[in-house]
Chain A
Amino acid sequence: MSLILENLYYTDEHEWVKVEGKNATVGITDYAEDSLGDIVFVELPKVGEDFAQMDQIGIIESVKTVSNLYIPVSGRITEINEAVIENPAIINSSPYDEGWLIKMEIYEPAELEDLKSAEEYEDLLVEEEE
């Protein structure tokens, strides 16, 4: 079973969101990195760019496949993880920690209600694995 952390929000696209006040950190889940396999290329948005909820903001590419990265809630990009662009394998080895992808300022905190809790995300994985 894939690792799911309690204190995070999750999307149907297998991203996690860690909220701290008006700011959030976003990455992909253990399940997502495991499904992709060895990640070799990451394309992230530019700092300062604005996006609406579920806009595509990047690309994660593994040896076997390509997957899109979406922004979980509307907001502005405040930081990107340069380390994962240099060495995308960090996402595989540490999806919830060193492998974070972007930091952002949240525009509409109410949109967080559209996201899943750890428990709900676990149900989604059970469904997907069936």
Chain B
Amino acid sequence: MKQTTLYPEHKALKAKLVDFNGWEMPIYYKGIIEEHHAVRESAGIFDVSHMGVIDISGPHALEFVQILTVNDASALKINQSQYTMIADTEGKIMDDMIVTRLADCFRFVVNCSNFEKIHSWMLINKKENDFKVTIEVKDELNIIALQGPKAKEIMTKLAKEELVMSSFYVTAGKLLDSQVLISHTGYTGEDGYEIFVNDKDVVKLWRGLLEAGAAPIGLGARDTLRIEAGLPLYGHEIITGISPYDLGYGWIVKLNKPKFIGKNVIENLPQKRRLYGLVLKEKTIPRQGVEVKGYGTVTSGTFSPTLNKSIALFITDKEVVKGDTVFVKIRDKEIEGEVTKLPFIKKGC
């Protein structure tokens, strides 16, 4: 299995490690629920260095990114990021990602499970269209996500100055005297940052963040946090046959762009389906694949530590409104649930 540079730190913290798409990653350190609360109430750090970082540079970089992605990268100012997706020629979503325009390149951060697929897709398209671009995989970069209401306070401590950043912008800076790139983004529904840091500095930064009061958080709580925030995940909500419109992300598809791969299919898709939330009356967990009777299936389900209830996401083309009663089938039992709007929890950020 592959390991991130922080692997020995996870071992030292006695993390419970699992095989996550070929990476040996912490699922939790002390417990999913405790870590979840730490992020909602204070601050937590996640090693997300297993995600793939790919930089696109060269004279055709913008043109290449425009053809590849559904959003409009030409609208990006330098140091600005956007949520986007890559579709194949049949309009199927291959992955979702954040793209950032840096001074000399476009930086893609892709799901680790899709890294090889996206990287090859880039190489194929470069070759077929003879784009003058350099596709560089940044293996030496680590990503630490710092998330939670105290994230800003902790960053200020480490940067020795107040961090003034808009959401979906990056800034180069120094944390504990190491050169890093700080992105004001996250995947938890909390305020927070994702920090790009080199191999040689990552351990020092990780330890510094812990000392400053952030709790180490595993992939278990990363999942419960993103489900509460109603954020889609590739392989769960983002699956074959599901479009950005179905997920409530129609706004990222810029049909006024002259061309992007999959456009001819995506622009003709029916826009009937929507992603909804579900809160169960019992604490048994409606996991992915569980039937929502008459409506479809659960795409993600978990126990919500914030609500102290079991929750799920599901996609349906049927008419449902907030407050409707639905039933999920778990182990031959029908359990009542109430339809809710997303996100499950609203935070002031």
**A interface, CB within 8 angstroms of B:** 37-38, 40-41, 43, 59, 61, 63-64, 66, 88-89, 92
Contacts and interface: CB of A to CB of B under 8 A. Distances in A.
A61 B284 contact: yes
B27 A59 contact: no
B56 to A, nearest CB: 36
B217 to A, nearest CB: 13
B282 interface: yes
Interface of B: 16, 27-28, 31-34, 220, 224, 282-285, 287, 302-303, 310, 331
Given A38-B32, A59-B331, 6 more contacts: A37-B32, A40-B303, A63-B32, A63-B224, A88-B283, A89-B33
A40 B283 contact: yes
Contact of B16 (A37, A59, A66): A37
Contacts of B16: 37
Which secondary structure characterizes the binding site on chain B?
Answer: mixed
A79 B71 CA distance: 60
Contact of B220 (A37, A88, A92): A37
B28 A37 contact: yes
Most chain B CB within 10 A, of A40, A63, A64, A66, is at A63
A61 B28 contact: no
Contact of B303 (A59, A63, A92): A63
5 contacts: A37-B27, A38-B32, A38-B34, A38-B303, A61-B283
B31 A37 contact: yes
Contact of A64 (B220, B284, B310): B220
B284 A43 contact: yes
B27 A64 contact: yes
Contacts of A61: 283-285
A88 B16 CA distance: 21
Contacts of A63: 32-33, 220, 224, 285, 302-303
Contact of B31 (A38, A41, A59): A38
A59 B310 CA distance: 16
Contacts of B282: 41
Nearest to B35: A38
Contacts of A92: 31
Contacts of A66: 285, 287
Given A63-B302, A64-B220, A41 B32 contact: no
B220 A41 contact: no
Contacts of A89: 33
B33 A38 contact: yes
The 10 closest A-B pairs by CB, nearest first: A41-B283, A40-B303, A38-B33, A63-B32, A41-B284, A63-B303, A38-B31, A38-B32, A40-B283, A64-B220
A43 B333 CA distance: 12
Contacts of A43: 284
Contacts of A38: 31-34, 303
B236 to A, nearest CB: 15
Contacts of A41: 282-285, 303, 310
Nearest to A40: B303
A54 to B, nearest CB: 18
A89 B331 CA distance: 22
B333 to A, nearest CB: 9
